Structure 1
Amino acid sequence: MSQYERKEVAVRRLLEGAPPPVPPELYEEAVRRGGRRLRRHRAVRRLLWCALIVAVVAFAVWASVAQPWVEPPTETTPPLTRW
């Protein structure tokens, strides 16, 4: 029997057997950490959405003021030549 097969048998034995007892304080700690993690994810998601909205508004304001699609006026007049 190879080492891989021994490990596989050990893992199967663990999975098929009864689950090990869990300390009661472990559940409370997991719930506390999970709640904190969810709050952080929500806060980060809201912050990113707000940043995206601010960026879109800033771009719209800049585009309306700068009007990059309009050709700039010429600064010099063409030379006037006689026929």
Structure 2
Amino acid sequence: MGYIQSLRLGFYNVLLYGIALAILLSIQVNLSYKKNDYLSNELDVTEQAYLVAQIKPHFFFNTLTSVMSLCYTDGKKAA
């Protein structure tokens, strides 16, 4: 092989490596975006569950307080 053919072969190898690397990086970026979307949705669900868990004790406490105040004013209605 001559010098020119060797340079051409090296250029094609570098070009092929660059194309393969670009494809691999684009796949990784795409997977990262999908994982980010999935984790964002999971975070939303977790935050909603946390807020619901906080509301339940307050609702229970308010209900008991209402029943207790009814016991003082109207025992039959409280029962």
- RMSD over aligned Cα atoms: 3.0
Unaligned 5+ segments in structure 1 are 1-20, 78-83
Residue 34 of structure 1 corresponds to 18
Pick from 63, 66, 76 the counterpart of residue 47 of structure 2. Answer: 63
State the one-letter code of the partner of 1:41. L
Q: Give the percent of matched residue pairs that are identical in Structure 1 and Structure 2.
A: 7
Residue 67 of structure 2 corresponds to none
Instruction: Give the structure with the larger helix fraction.
Output: 2
Q: TM-score, normalised by structure 2?
A: 0.57
Which structure is higher in RCO with an 8 Å CA cutoff and minimum separation 6?
2
**Alpha-carbon distance, 1:71 to partner:** 5.3
Q: TM-score, normalised by structure 1?
A: 0.55
Residue 44 of structure 1 corresponds to 28
Unaligned 5+ segments in structure 2 are 65-79
Equivalent residues, number: 59
Dislocated runs of 4+, deviation >6 Å: 74-77
**Alpha-carbon distance, 1:39 to partner:** 0.5
**Alpha-carbon distance, 1:72 to partner:** 5.5
Residue 73 of structure 2 corresponds to none
